[in-house]
Amino acid sequence: MSQYKIIFTGPVGAGKTTAINSISDVPPVKTDASASDMTKSRKSSTTVAMDYGIMNLADGEKLHLYGTPGQERFDFMWDILVTGGIGLVLLLDNTRADPFQDMRFFLDAFDKFIVDTTVAIGITQMDLSSKPTIEDYHIQLREMGLKPPVFAVDARVKSDVSLLVQALLYSLDPGLEG
Amino acid sequence: MDKTKRPLKVALHGMDGRSYKMMSMYLQGPCKGLAVVVDQGNEDIDIFDLDGVNGEALITAHLEKQTQKPAIVLSLHERMIENVLMVKKPVKIDDMLAALSKAKALLDKPATPIKRQDAVVGDKGNDNLDTQAVAKKADQVDEKPVLKKFVLNTDEQKKTSKHQAAMQLDEKGFGAFIGNVPGIDVNDPKQFARASYNTKEYFQGYVESAYKICHSKGQVRQLNSGWNPLIIFPHSQEIWLDVDENQLRSFSGLSINATLGSKMSITPLSQDSSTADRKLERFQSMDAFLWKIACWASKGRYPASIDISQPVYLKHWPNFTRILVTPHALRISALLIQGPRTLANVAEVLNIKPQYVFVFISAACALGLAGQVKREADVLVQSPEIKPNKNQGLLGRILSTLRGKKA
């Protein structure tokens, strides 16, 4: 049976684990480790291997949701992860020092996969940092010759994550009727 | 200013961007604003993360300086370091508040010579770093990319209308929420020529015009309509309007040019009134506000500025998580982003009623995201056929599942 999957990627803390949790039908399998961080009350752990969730589809099929480890030392796993993937969801934390650099890094790292499939970008933490704006991201993307969906996303909110994934699917085929 | 109430100015050391942000939030939130993060050089006290980047080297360098400034050191492990205030991780609010209070008391004390630090007791035996090596390490830290200075704006989080998830409208709810125009069937191709509306006759037109003025003047301005005033903040891309949403919907759907046109005016706001306290939940993003009033003015029609026989383009995807999602809007965007098409062609290819395309184009044009193709070459190029994805069945099932999962 085919393994259908959507890959969630992005830097540490962008909300990949939370986003998968928002739309998964089963509690995500986490492979987190304790973060050596002074504010454990806010983010007590970080993903060192990968997150995994499942969406059960109507006919008994399953869609697998994989989150890449945010830490770059695990990037050797990315190629393995994307095999058989139907699309990429890139989450970017707007409070990071240089979110455009993050965006370029991940788009570059997954460029072949994006060419073969498609990408949708979610910008998280915009309520904490409103700059850069969504328009600023589009300007950067235009320079890269890309026109993907870019939405402000609260990874905790199911409808935000759902809309982003829907946009990813319609980018693959606007003729789809859900 | 009451010096006793002034927050302690704190410089953070050895923290990456995320830790820096978290600590800024932590001080402003749980620590009740007792301390505020400032740029290095302007601080009253220093906070070091001993487990962070070059934490050991930074604290050693700090102690070598024999500064009078109090320092708080955060560490995962129990440590004994003289002349610093230790706080063990995970940081507890009470511990942090106690450390800040002690630091403040030390600051208020008359200056006394601080005895030289013997060493930082380290786990890895790197206690005896010489000053030169420490300085070199500190320099290396300085060479790191400048961290984004994060200032938590708690007011921003209270602007709930601005950050809440968008309303998603399906076909069933369209008529009741968007409305329709009596005496015309906008979905009948024979009546397409009559299915347009002049945006300038509606509240939409006045708001668009007011936005342009505010942006060009760079001023906060108020749009007076004889109804509740609309205040426009061009720098933060926000509007403020204290009205019931149902009233706004009705008002936006009225052709007001003949009746209220003479009462419409836009006036600059004085500094006092533009910074006055307002209900934060009444702030909305300029785009989301204009998008929805354009939908309500449209009622399933297209703007008169669009030639129905010519293709339109979509510059980029709208930010659908924060605007009203009209029926099939995502599909329309996905199709138009591939290349320009006429409105009728979009409806035909997607097999949807033209009113859904018209209302989308009205809102997208209002935001400047869509427009008429002007180059003759673009008109002549035939729109590419959409090829069904090889996994169409699967993708459709995923969509159905997602739709059933609406929060």
Reading chain B (407 residues) residue by residue, the pLDDT tens digits are: 444 567 888 998 888 766 777 787 778 777 777 888 887 777 889 999 887 768 888 888 888 877 778 899 988 777 788 888 998 876 777 888 889 988 888 887 764 433 333 333 333 333 333 333 333 433 443 334 334 444 445 566 667 777 776 788 788 888 888 888 888 899 999 999 999 999 999 999 999 999 999 999 888 999 998 888 999 999 888 999 999 989 999 999 999 887 887 888 999 987 666 666 777 888 899 999 999 999 999 999 999 999 999 999 999 999 999 999 999 999 999 999 999 999 999 999 999 999 999 999 999 999 999 999 876 665 555 567 778 888 888 898 898 888 885 44
Is the residue at A38 inside a domain? Answer: no
Which residue of B12, B31, B401, B406 to mutate against A (max A Cβ within 10 Å)? B401
Chain A residues closer than 8 Å to B317 by CB? 147-151, 167
Q: How many structural domains are present in chain A?
A: 1
pTM above 0.90, yes or no: no
CA–CA distance, B227 with B219 (Å, rounded to integer): 21
CA–CA distance, B245 with B351 (Å, rounded to integer): 32
CA–CA distance, B113 with B153 (Å, rounded to integer): 39
Closest CA to A131 of A117, A152, A110: A152
Is the residue at A109 inside a domain? Answer: yes
CATH number of the domain to which A94 belongs: 3.40.50.300
Is the residue at A141 inside a domain? Answer: yes
Owner of token pair 């035939």? B382
Which residue of A26, A92, A176, A177 to mutate against B (max B Cβ within 10 Å)? A176
Q: Which two tokens stand for residue A127?
A: 């309520």
**Beta carbon pairs, A and B, within 8 Å:** 197
Nearest to B388 among A166, A169, A173 (CB): A173
The CATH superfamily of B3-142 is Response regulator (3.40.50.2300)
Is the residue at A39 inside a domain? Answer: no
Q: Spell out where B200-260 has E strands.
A: 221-224, 230-233, 238-240
Kindly report the nearest CA distance between residue B111 and chain A, in angstroms: 30
* Dihedral (CA of B129, B133, B138, B143) sign: negative
Kindly report the nearest CA distance between residue B199 and chain A, in angstroms: 24
Query: Residue B352: phi, psi to the nearest 5?
Result: -130, 165
Q: Nearest chain B Cα to A95, which residue?
A: B150
Kindly report the nearest CA distance between residue B227 and chain A, in angstroms: 30
**Is B89 in Cβ contact with A169 (below 8 Å)?**
no
Cβ neighbours of A17 (radius 10 Å): 25
Tens digit of pLDDT at every position of chain A (178 positions) = 456 899 999 988 899 989 999 999 887 666 555 544 434 444 545 554 467 888 888 778 889 999 887 655 455 667 777 888 999 999 999 988 899 999 999 999 899 999 999 999 999 999 888 889 999 999 999 999 999 999 999 999 999 999 999 999 999 999 987 6
CB neighbour list of residue B241: distance below 8 Å, 6 or more residues apart: B228, B229, B230, B231, B248, B282, B284, B289
Is the residue at A40 inside a domain? Answer: no
Domain extent, residue A90, equals: 4-30+45-172
**Is B163 in Cβ contact with A126 (below 8 Å)?**
yes
Kindly report the nearest CA distance between residue B93 and chain A, in angstroms: 10
CB neighbour list of residue A54: distance below 8 Å, 6 or more residues apart: A24, A25, A26, A62, A63, A64, A65
Chain A residues closer than 8 Å to B400 by CB? 57-58, 178
Q: Which two tokens stand for residue B65?
A: 């300086």
The 8-class DSSP code of residue A142 comes to H
Is the residue at A148 inside a domain? Answer: yes
Is the residue at A122 inside a domain? Answer: yes
CA–CA distance, A150 with A146 (Å, rounded to integer): 11
Q: Spell out where chain A has E strands.
A: 4-9, 32-34, 45-47, 51-56, 62-67, 85-93, 119-124, 150-152
Every domain range in chain B assigned CATH 3.40.50.2300: 3-142
